[in-house]
A and B are shown apart, each in its own frame.
Chain A
């Protein structure tokens, strides 16, 4: 059975410092939910509040209708995968997986069968009777996953489970985790600071900073319609430019780096006339060597990466920017060359001058609101 998790106005304090203030979020049954943010943002703190290892100073946490604030961690029906796996070094792989079942007083045979089922699910049968210190990081990760799931918990919590693995294994294991989570169908809360990893596995992501959820949404929403400048620069790469917004003849004009661009689909522009922040992702620049109008820029250098070429350019006012182009065999852009850049106007995000609101999404929200 899977549960939904409802967190209402949760507060976490350590002494006088408030780490999390009035945080509310609803996690759906069977959902793969990720807490993403830089270190110190409170994501692990929140996870450990759900697990019961951290006290909740105010607010409520519910699993379905049941308030679990004061329920012992051992009674919350939680499976957890720790950052360092927390595999018991004195028990064999099988005994590790059986550990939780044995404490639940299952009959001996059932314990064995169930453990075997999960050992096979995560494909560690070959090492089942070895001691865990012989296992590689990825294998230990699988043991930890099997051990967390074997007791059929209501919720699976994962605290930076891949951060101790090398890059290649990280990609492999995140696929494994995602696949197994789908198959078991368990509500999962996942903590990571790696935005790519978060996007690869999650149904929804909460981007956190300073104990506050900055944005809650699907990976696609976070990337293409970040709620504010923080999310925009934390998820993926972004060039931040200063711009000036005006409305003329019913059209929204954005003046940025000496170029005047007409921006479609920005209905609330009239309210935001004046200085704005423009977030342009490297692939949202159009770099046409033949163009004679647009944003003038000087090529600093290019880095050929196979599929793409990354160009580093300098604008007239000295701002350094990055642009990505699909690579060609005969690329002619040498350092020092002057080019004119265009942007994919329907994709760029425009924020108010403080960088706190995305004009594209705010417009939509306000329309709905009225």
Chain B
């Protein structure tokens, strides 16, 4: 009976695969796009990495990298610092979301918005602000050294990177853990307490163990971000050299450029991230189990000394995380003579910024972001539909390929695009087009994930109902499926938008004077040592990010925030 039932179905499925309908055409179109703008550039990087200066095949670049600790050390450094950032983010982020989820805190909304804001800020602003605070000439350094009998140590190097990135990335852990803690059924905790598991023991035996899958997922995210980060180690790393900085130096450095070697380092970086990614997948599978929905734990008011400590922890952490942004905005109004801040306040920095491409930077930033976002949304919706509703080998391949940028440091994508489109027939380097392509590729995975997840939860029967009422396939898709997906896609898209606005590590390889964005302008000002200008650009960027996030949070329920 079963055989008879299934055979025709199988045939239909096979038949559909070869039928050239609208969706097959879409598959092929996406395949072409991904092939041209993602796989081909990647292949370019790979090819570049095994070429010597004269164009001959060689493994010398890799040999040089692994044989020489001066270079190999960079990847080790990146790995160690990312590991440290991950651990610190977990250590500060898990208590944060525990308190946030289980206590009724005053100003909870503020705490949440603050966390999201610090996480989504441009990558280097935190580092720059901390240098201004705790660097060699930092205001806090001078204050503390006048007061304290001992030296406070250097902000530069390993410690500084960990400080800046942990404060920036712990909200990722929190957003994920909030959801996980919320989904813990109260009766599991009650059952545990009846069996002698209470207090800290219960938190460890039940709470943490139940959220291990989420912990692993959040750890991976933090690690990936820290590993691929370029702005922070570039500014605050100094002697502590990471591989992203080394790629930049090899590719754009003022002395001794070696594009082939830069490509090789990039490839090594990709391999390491891929390995970490797979390791996490493996671990997540081992720990996976399904959590039934139940009634969540009731929030309670924090009381007594413990309650005061909870408040102190929450507000101190968020204060610390927001400090850089606030300090930068403050400094942007301070008078200065390029290198030293002077007493008094004015808008001079902004006036100066106007003469330094501020208008163009803002215009480019917004223009690129809007165009890139439109493309991202279109591709994400189509791809999500193909993957969820038309699952076949080609579409699953597309799905996997679309996630590749997730494990690729921005620099690798930047270099890849330069290599691929440097010469005719597609000479795009230096154009706005290539900037937009870069942004689309870099930030697509987030929206694709949220679109796919949304569609997976939409019952097929909706479309079938529309079809049974006489709607064509196309009409059912446009009038039924797309509107139902819109909420989920929008929430992913806004975060893509913020990430696009603060894009740095690939942009730095591709930008020029015509395609400069706010992040680039701020970064250029920082590297040229003009404090006031740098602060003005950073402040504008910060405010722009904050406004976008405010809009996002206004229209998104907190439970749906995904980063």
Contacts and interface: CB of A to CB of B under 8 A. Distances in A.
B290 A86 contact: no
B357 interface: no
Interface in A252-300: none
B102 to A, nearest CB: 16
B289 interface: yes
Contacts of A103: 195-197, 201
A100 B196 contact: yes
Q: Interface size bucket, B side?
A: 20 to 34
Given A80-B190, A90-B287, A74 B206 contact: no
A151 interface: yes
B194 A79 contact: yes
Nearest to A132: B289
Interface string A126-162: 0000010100000000000001100100000000000
Contacts of A76: 194
Interface in A83-122: 83-84, 86, 88-91, 99-100, 103-104
Interface string B195-208: 11110010001100
Given A89-B290, A89-B291, A133-B289, A80 B210 contact: no
Contacts of A73: 190, 193-194
Interface in B176-218: 185, 187-188, 190-198, 201, 205-206, 209-210, 212
A230 interface: no
A86 B185 contact: yes
Q: Interface size bucket, A side?
A: 20 to 34
Contacts of A53: 190
A148 B190 CA distance: 12
Interface in B156-188: 185, 187-188
A51 B201 CA distance: 20
A9 interface: no
A359 to B, nearest CB: 44
Q: Name which of A72, A74, A80 has the most chain B CB atoms within 10 A of its CB.
A: A74
A124 interface: no
A312 interface: no
B292 interface: yes
B289 A89 contact: yes
A86 B193 contact: no
Interface string A68-80: 0000111010111
Contacts of B196: 74, 100, 103-104, 151
B294 interface: yes
A84 B191 CA distance: 11
A234 interface: no
A78 B289 contact: no
Given A84-B294, A86-B190, 7 more contacts: A51-B194, A76-B194, A79-B194, A90-B209, A90-B289, A99-B197, A133-B289
Interface of B: 185, 187-188, 190-198, 201, 205-206, 209-210, 212, 287, 289-292, 294
23 contacts: A51-B190, A51-B194, A73-B194, A74-B195, A78-B194, A80-B191, A82-B191, A86-B188, A88-B188, A88-B206, A89-B292, A90-B209, A90-B212, A90-B287, A91-B209, A99-B195, A100-B194, A103-B195, A103-B197, A104-B196, A133-B289, A148-B194, A151-B196
Interface of A: 51, 53, 72-74, 76, 78-80, 82-84, 86, 88-91, 99-100, 103-104, 131, 133, 147-148, 151
Q: 10 tightest A-B contacts by CB?
A: A100-B195, A103-B196, A86-B187, A86-B191, A82-B187, A89-B289, A133-B290, A74-B193, A74-B198, A86-B188
